[in-house]
A and B are shown apart, each in its own frame.
Chain A
């Protein structure tokens, strides 16, 4: 079964702005799916419509086979949303934020208490259960929103930039949590501006721009289309100019580092061999930038 099925979805706001121009998209159950796009591309509108926060102009959206208009309650029961901005009641305690959400989904109190404890423990927030939510740190607030979204065991979890503004340590711990949630069978749709995040977590990807899906494929297929890899080489002795090696575009970044564009068909062995022949010792090597980032920029420009 498809976790999400969208057909010819359009949205025009009252000021005439056409945010979505006929979106077609399907996400399989159990997938970890990336929805990427630049600011203003239509991601938030699309997520808003899927989660019933924005009224669509036309088209069909079904969640786990339930149409969001005709079978609204069934569709809503399948979905959990972690929005971009903090949107819980900051005067409630951590526990009540999650417990209230369980109540909105009609979960009896005894079961709601069990689910709340499970979700808060999973998000490492159980110790903070009696703390007023506005006193939590930024990372804890983000984790609280994930706990709240999972309290009714949704089959589809939408994470709208869940790691925006959190430090790398928290971000990595959240990646681990997201992977665990996905491995337990929950379909995840992730939007993020950290493309490294999408590349390392997601199996399939769609890129949206100007209200249209401009790319849909598996992450593997998309990345295999990149013809060049960019590397930065740190060299032992200072250089005054970039060495000339046929087949490789080499640029001198500074006296101790070279930027090299490597054609995947050529490979990298011959580069090292020829650098060694010219007496250049390479101390270390790293990717210049995230691979997906380069492709993303090429696609949306």
Chain B
């Protein structure tokens, strides 16, 4: 049995899905982030001055790029896998000899592809507003990859438990978006009162945004080694949870 072909079939099916509906998947982040750069970077940023020795525009660019990667890798997997359950074509995969690990890898790879593609689009737009240069391209790509992998896995688990379309919007709207905004996209946690700095450290997105910012402009509130180690630990944990859910057939088998 050639599982590589099964993986490629799921992966390219996912790529076709989000490129077919590009006005819903690729265009909105381009417009939204253009507005972020225009309003926060250009208009408000000029009054804010510098943050950690960087212009405000340069400071927010990495956070906005990674925020797009997070939300799109998550939303691609949660909406695609839930729709696969909802339309019942998950049965096409369940009757075929496709191991659970290949199903997970296929959907998560689709989420990573969309997350990184949207991240590239947003980076291109950022270059029109800012003259930033990337300090360590390899590390920046590694952090973006790990982040998209982590949130694609989280999206998959959300889709496994989801019973309705409401269930796939609750986590993105009420958990992911607030944590992203409070994860130091637009500010350094050094600007917060001491109590809130400690609270902010409990936000996992803070670590990823700071790691990515460090790779691009060399500025971070957090130790980058700690940030990457934590991200990898969460990836391992969510992978094991997702595989256990598939093995038990939670949400997909009676």
Chain A contact residues, CB within 8 Å of chain B: 13, 45, 48, 51-55, 72-74, 76-77, 79, 81, 83, 85, 87-91, 100-101, 103-109, 148
Contacts and interface: CB of A to CB of B under 8 A. Distances in A.
B225 interface: no
Q: Which of A90, A101, A148 has the most CB of B within 10 A?
A: A101
B205 to A, nearest CB: 32
A104 B1 contact: no
Given A51-B95, A100-B13, A105-B97, A87 B1 contact: no
Contacts of B92: 87-89, 100-101, 104, 148
B87 A77 contact: no
Given A13-B254, A106-B2, A53 B96 contact: no
A106 B1 contact: yes
B88 interface: yes
A112 B93 CA distance: 16
B91 A53 contact: yes
A233 B87 CA distance: 49
Contact of B253 (A54, A81, A104, A106): A54
A107 B89 CA distance: 19
Given A77-B1, A106-B3, A87 B87 contact: yes
B6 interface: yes
Q: Would you list the 8 A-B pairs with minimal beta carbon distance, nearest first?
A: A103-B9, A106-B2, A104-B96, A73-B97, A87-B88, A76-B97, A54-B254, A89-B89
A264 B55 CA distance: 99
Interface string B44-78: 00000000000000000000000000000000000
Given A48-B254, A54-B253, A77-B1, A104 B87 contact: no
Chain B interface size band reads 20 to 34
Q: Which of B13, B84, B89 has the most CB of A within 10 A?
A: B89
Nearest to B249: A55
B43 interface: no
28 contacts: A45-B254, A53-B91, A53-B95, A53-B253, A54-B253, A55-B249, A73-B97, A73-B99, A76-B95, A76-B97, A79-B95, A81-B95, A85-B88, A87-B88, A87-B89, A87-B91, A88-B92, A91-B17, A101-B92, A103-B6, A103-B10, A104-B93, A104-B96, A105-B97, A106-B1, A106-B3, A107-B2, A108-B2
Contact of B5 (A81, A85, A106): A106
A103 B5 contact: yes
Contacts of B10: 103-104
B249 A104 contact: no
Q: Which of B84, B88, B99 has the most CB of A within 10 A?
A: B88
Contacts, number: 78
Nearest to A13: B254
Nearest to B21: A91
A280 to B, nearest CB: 57
A48 B254 CA distance: 9
Contacts of A106: 1-3, 5-6, 97
Interface string B18-45: 0010000000000000000000000000
Contacts of B99: 73
A74 B96 CA distance: 10
B8 interface: yes
B254 A55 contact: yes
A76 B1 CA distance: 11
Contacts of A83: 91
Contacts of B254: 13, 45, 48, 53-55
Q: Which of B3, B17, B89, B95 has the most CB of A within 10 A?
A: B95
Contacts of B2: 106-108
Contacts of A52: 94-95
Contacts of A103: 5-6, 8-10
